[in-house]
Structure 1
Amino acid sequence: MIRVGIGYDSHKFVKGRKLIIGGVEIPFEYGLAGHSDADVLTHSIIDAIIGAAGLGDIGKLFPDTDPKWKDADSVAMLTTVIEKITAMGFVVGWIDSVVITEEPKLSPHIESMKTAISKSGISCGCINIKAKTNEKMGFIGRGEGIAAMATCVIAMQKNDS
């Protein structure tokens, strides 16, 4: 059995926080507002996997009303999701994602992001990350925040018993 999921997340820029994208701290004058570390890329990946597994959405598993998730590391949250789908018999076969921001430039950090995300249990070779601008349009174009989208494929692991 193969399932596909999509995920989306967006956060606004704020002063006084680190900018974490794909589990990597990116040097920039702003961070992202959020209950956890506000890692927009990892959150979109989590949401895609949760959707493919039929587990609702990121807010259901990691509610922003729960102090347990305050300033939480999103790659650790992703690890929890991977553990859940593994227990269900699934494995992640592919992640395709895109981060949309005018600044900062993310291309130099993509390989580090893939490595950081792979610490959750997803093979580095199964992760694709793209960085795009929004051509100066909308909240992203005005430099107010960042959005990310992800698609994933999960498959039932074969039981060799």
Structure 2
Amino acid sequence: MRIGNGYDVHALVEGRKLILGGVEIEHEKGLLGHSDADVLVHAIMDALLGALALRDIGYHFPDTESEYKDINSLLLLEKVSELIHNRGYRIINIDSTITAQRPKLSPYIDEMRENVSRVLKIDRDLVSIKPTTTEKLGFVGREEGMEAYCVCLVEEIEK
């Protein structure tokens, strides 16, 4: 068994869609990034890659490559899932946290869990996504950005 830890952060800006867990969320600002800037999916990818010491998402999907411009991060998660499986591992569970002052994310969590579990081809009960605020502290509390954390557990598939 191997544990992975992931973290991602993006600035909030006007003129961008807010995408979290593959869900488009109604909000006056979105996250700035080369891809769709889905901080949740990025943290999950980094956790999975980290569990197998496969570097990070910037290594696999560099922001200097035009093919990743505005790409749906769930497509990148699918590629990471294939890497994990091809290395002979399966995902045991994912536990993640999104910090955002606004908007309230609770109404979207089930759909986010469904998206992540579908792409990773694992049971939805193995995917935990918890929203929280920073009680108006720091850059998240000032609504300058959002961040996400993730821990995952993978195990080698018996041969």
Q: TM-score, normalised by structure 1?
A: 0.96
Equivalent in the alignment of 1:34: 33
Matches of 2:27 and 2:34, distance apart in 1:
20
- Asked if 1:74 is matched to 2:73, the reply is yes
Shift of 1:121: 2.2
CA–CA distance in structure 1, aligned partners of residues 22 and 54 of structure 2: 23
Measured against aligned partners, the alpha-carbon deviations of 1:20-43 in whole angstroms (never above 9, x if no partner) come to 000101111111000000000000
3-state DSSP class of the match of 2:82?
helix
Q: Name the amino acid aligned to 2:32.
A: A
Q: 1:51 aligns to what SS in structure 2?
A: helix
What is the Cα-based RMSD across aligned positions, in Å?
A: 0.7
Q: Give the letter for the 2:152 counterpart.
A: C
User: How many residues are treated as equivalent by the alignment?
Assistant: 158
Structure 2 portions without partners, runs of 5+: none
| CA–CA separation in structure 2 for the residues paired with 1:110 and 1:44 | 16
Q: Counterpart of 2:145 in structure 1: which amino acid?
A: G
Ranges of 4+ aligned residues in structure 1 off by more than 2 Å = none
In structure 1, the partner of 2:21 is 22
Cα deviation for residue 16 of structure 1 reads 1.1
Q: Map of 1:55-66 to 2, 5 A cutoff?
A: 55-66=54-65
Q: Give the aligned residue type for 2:24.
A: E
TM-score, normalising length: structure 2: 0.97
**How far did residue 72 of structure 1 move?**
0.8
Alpha-carbon deviation of 1:95?
A: 0.2
Task: Determine if the alignment matches structure 1 residue 93 to structure 2 residue 114.
Answer: no
After superposition, the C-alpha distances for 1:45-104 in whole angstroms (9 at most, x for unaligned) are 000000001100111011101111100110110000000110000011100000001001
Contact kept? 1:20, 1:37, Cα under 8 Å = yes
The AA in structure 2 aligned to 1:137 is L
Name the counterpart of 1:152.
152
Please say if 1:141 is aligned against 2:141.
yes
> Corresponding residue for 1:51?
50
How many angstroms apart in 2 are the aligned matches of 1:107 and 1:99? 11
Structure 1 contact 92–122 (Cα < 8 Å) conserved? no
**What percent of counterpart residues are identical?**
47
C-alpha distance in structure 1 between counterparts of 2:46 and 2:39, whole Å: 11
Q: Which runs of 5+ in 1 are unaligned?
A: none
- CA distance in 2 between counterparts of 1:143 and 1:117 reads 25
Give SS of 2:120's match: coil
Secondary structure in 2 matching 1:55: coil
C-alpha separation between the residues in 1 aligned to 2:139 and 2:16?
19
